Amino acid sequence: MRPRDREHRGPVSPMSRRSFARTYRAKVGCTPARMLETMRVEAACRQLASGGHSLKTIAAQCGLRDAQALRRVFLRRLGVLPSAVTNAAPFVERLRSGATPSTGPDGAA
């Protein structure tokens, strides 16, 4: 099963996907999709900071479709291109704080 394959999950939970997403968001503070994206971007940041891999390889290893998808998610979530990541720590902290390029470091607009 591919990580991004939503339709073929099998019986993971006795509740509907929508109910699960609501319960998850109430407990964790974000949707399952947002958490998965955060984890993928964090992993990509670490790999970019360590160097030695192409964007295509990093995207595939982090569960993203291709290098273009990696670029889009970096711009949306961090406001930078993957090539700007030389030290993963500040970017991982930004992801964990909930800040986006449009909200600022405290998550407020």
Tell me if the pTM is above 0.85. Answer: no
Q: 62-99 b/e with 16+ CB inside 10 Å = b?
A: bbbeebebbbebbeebbeeebeebeebeebbebbeeeb
Inside any domain, residue 42: yes
Inside any domain, residue 53: yes
Inside any domain, residue 106: no
Range of the domain at 47: 34-97
Inside any domain, residue 2: no
Inside any domain, residue 19: no
CATH of the domain at 47: 1.10.10.60
Q: Is the model's pLDDT at 106 over the cut of 70?
A: no
Inside any domain, residue 21: no
Virtual CA dihedral for 40, 46, 50, 56, nearest 10 degrees? 10
Query: 3-12, 49-58, 84-93, 96-105: lowest mean pLDDT where?
Result: 3-12
Assess contact for 3 and 39: CB atoms under 8 A: no
Inside any domain, residue 62: yes
Number of domains, the chain: 1
